[in-house]
Amino acid sequence: MKLWDKGIDIDKKIEAFTVGNDREIDLHIAQYDILASIAHAKMLEKINIITAEELQQLCEGLETLLQQVHNRTFAIETQFEDVHSKIEFELIQKYGNVGKKIHTARSRNDQVLVALQLFYKNNLNIIIAQTQTLFDTLLQLADTHKEALLPGYTHLQVAMPSSFGLWFSAYAELLVDDVYVLQAALKTVDQNPLGSAAGYGSSFPIDRAFTTKELGFNTLKYNVVAAQMSRGKSERTVSMALGSLSNTLARFAMDICLYMSQNFNFIAFPDTLTTGSSIMPHKKNPDVFELIRGKCNKVQALYTEMLLITNNLPSGYHRDFQLLKEHMITAFEDLKNVLEIFNHSIQQIQIKEIDFSDEKYKYLSTVDSINNLVMEGVSFREAYQKIGKQVEDGTYAVETSKRHTHIGSIHNLHLDKIKEKMLSTEIN
């Protein structure tokens, strides 16, 4: 069954090519298409297109299908082109002509649009909540390990003293920025496109404000052409937001892989979280964080894909848009999984005590030495040159009592202020 079927046979190769794997992908948006259909049916009854009895039948049938989705017994068989044709077929099978009325005043175009907008809304909220959970974990780790020193690096060269508290809380504060971007994307998709039909509206006296409220959208997309043109724009916006979060997680995962290596040896994880080698029995590999890094880099590539598929398309619907669904849905599923695994794993991190007497940390306190001289009245430039000369001629040494004099500022993590930032992002 096809919603556009006019009784004309179509070439089977063409049909297979145009349908692609939509049946499998559409299972992810089935519940949202059903919810939108319920709201649409209620609106049709409100404007006297269908009767109260017909509405009751349609809602009963749609609720049954929704339960099948939740029970994972809902399927889209090969005779159906997509989820929309499957749902309409089931309603017609059960209620005859009443089922045929559900498509009144809408197009498959706005059906797809509203189902995807609802999918994006729900899953963005899930990811924001998961990000906030990881944020809380990192702040707790920062507080627990705020006095554990960690060598800071620039250009992968030993630079200045830092702390594990600073490291954990740094990534926590970056997550706040990611939530800002995710919420901007959420606001973009929180606009109801239902009622735009094929992009040029409907001559029926539909009530779009009613379906907007019924579906829980903040507002509607007033201009019906703009609603149609949001297909692609929404995906670019959402993929950029997912990419921002993925960038933070990928960098964090890279730090973890680096710090776990024997050359750094700053951290470890329980053996149950690492994997081994098929020929080297000593190996304890950070595969979890390598996969997190790889998956997050895939998500970051999504924006470019969305851009190239939709760039410079004229207004109106184009079948190119069908290609957006699969990787957008996959990105959400991957990122939700990554956030869950990251939060689970990072809670089990083991912080090692670092031997700062090691030769490679000999110059870790040069900035402290310069600052100590400045506090004694020497100009910064003279102090810098003096310590620099000592480094060059091999005479540099620092008294233990004067080492890491800025430790107090390292321990001042501003955790309360960072927490306030995240609290300010919560949507009432």
Scanning the structure block, which residue is given the tokens 């829980």?
Answer: 216
Which of 137, 144, 146, 145 has the alpha carbon at shortest distance from 171?
A: 137
Which of 92, 90, 110, 67 has the alpha carbon at shortest distance from 215?
A: 110
3 state SS for 74-95: CCCCCCCCCHHHHHHHHHHHHH
Pairing of strands 149-154, 157-163: antiparallel
Q: Do the beta carbons of residue 169 and residue 138 sit within 8 Å?
A: yes
One of 155, 203, 282, 409 is an active-site residue; which one? 155
Establish whether 155 is a catalytic residue: yes
Which of 97, 92, 105 has the alpha carbon at shortest distance from 39?
A: 105
Cα 148 to the center of its chain, rounded Å: 31
Cα 402 to the center of its chain, rounded Å: 45
Pairing of strands 350-351, 267-268: antiparallel
Q: Do the beta carbons of residue 135 and residue 172 sit within 8 Å?
A: yes
Establish whether 277 is a catalytic residue: yes
Which of 103, 93, 97, 75 has the alpha carbon at shortest distance from 5?
A: 103
Q: Do the beta carbons of residue 344 and residue 289 sit within 8 Å?
A: no
One of 261, 277, 379, 424 is an active-site residue; which one? 277
CA distance 89 to 67: 17
**Helix (H, G, I), strand (E, B), or coil: what is residue 395?**
coil
Helix-, strand-, coil-residue percentages of the chain, each rounded to 5: 65, 5, 30
Note the residue count of the chain.
428
CA distance 103 to 101: 6
Cα 198 to the center of its chain, rounded Å: 30
CA distance 269 to 220: 49
Q: What residues pair up with 151 in beta bridges, in sequence order?
A: 161
Please state, as a whole number, how many other Cβ atoms lie within 10 Å of the Cβ of residue 412: 11
How is residue 211 written in tokens? 């379906």
CA distance 311 to 318: 12
Catalytic residues: 155, 277
